[in-house]
Amino acid sequence: MSKQDGLLQFDGAIENLSFYKTKRGYAVRKRSGVSGARISNDPAFKRTRENGQEFGRAGKASKLLRTSFRDMIKNTADKGATPRLTKEFVKVVKADATSDRGLRNVIDGEIGFIENFEFNMNSLMDTSLFAPLTANIDRVAGTGTIELPPFKPVEGIQSPDGATHFIITCGVSAIDFTGGKYESALVSSEVLVLDSNNTAPLKLTASVSPNSTFPMFLALSIEFIQVVNGKPYKLSNGTYNSMKVVAVSASV
């Protein structure tokens, strides 16, 4: 890397030189790498093209899942959720044991890799909720159900400082990865108090169309709230909230 000198300093490229700005000023370096045209056409890069095609499918699948749960994710996911989820979908695609390389896809892969995915590494569901949990997907009915028996929130939930209440949300999604479509629904509990009194039995069921032939996903989230003078306030932009894919049902 060389430093740009003189009165004229800019960003951009001229022939094989790239000009750019850094924290220390403007710099210049020689451009390198293989052209896009060569990667697209040269037989030597066939494997690169195949990997790119499969990564593209994984990326689109990751986006579809995130979009289907966007109302839950916006208050729970950390900044690294997108690349981590895409990485899991790459595993799904690579597990396709029937398609040729470059043609491997989500539907013929192992969608079970997405089960137990945590959207917020700063507040894992496994370290936030200790109460026994039952999660079930009923494909025929098109439902996703989460059940919690009565429990004392101060013992069954690890809450952040300042939290006085919490909300549990159940979300279900049926995703057509080939067609790029989805159907999703979510249902939330009432605002629950973080105290030593047993909660009532909690059963949350979210519903989509019955008899779906597409992969179905069931997600659980916990959102912490501080109630002051009867008004709820969210804590730290979701830093301490948790969300997890608790069940997956492959396509039929």
Residues in the chain: 252
Cβ-contact 106, 85 below 8 angstroms: no
Report d(CA 159, CA 47) in Å as an integer. 48
Q: Express each pLDDT in 103-122 by its tens digit.
A: 999 999 999 999 999 999 99
Partner residues linked to 169 by β-bridges? 188, 221
Give the pTM: 0.82
User: Which helix (DSSP H) or strand (DSSP E) does residue 2 occupy?
Assistant: strand 2-3
179-234 tens-digit pLDDT: 999 999 999 999 999 999 999 999 999 999 999 999 999 999 999 999 888 888 88
Return the closest-CA partner of residue 84 out of 120, 138, 44, 39.
Answer: 120
Kindly report the backbone phi and psi dihedral angles of residue 113, in degrees, each rounded to the nearest multiple of 5, phi listed first: -60, -20
Instruction: Round the average pLDDT of the chain to a whole number and report it.
Output: 86
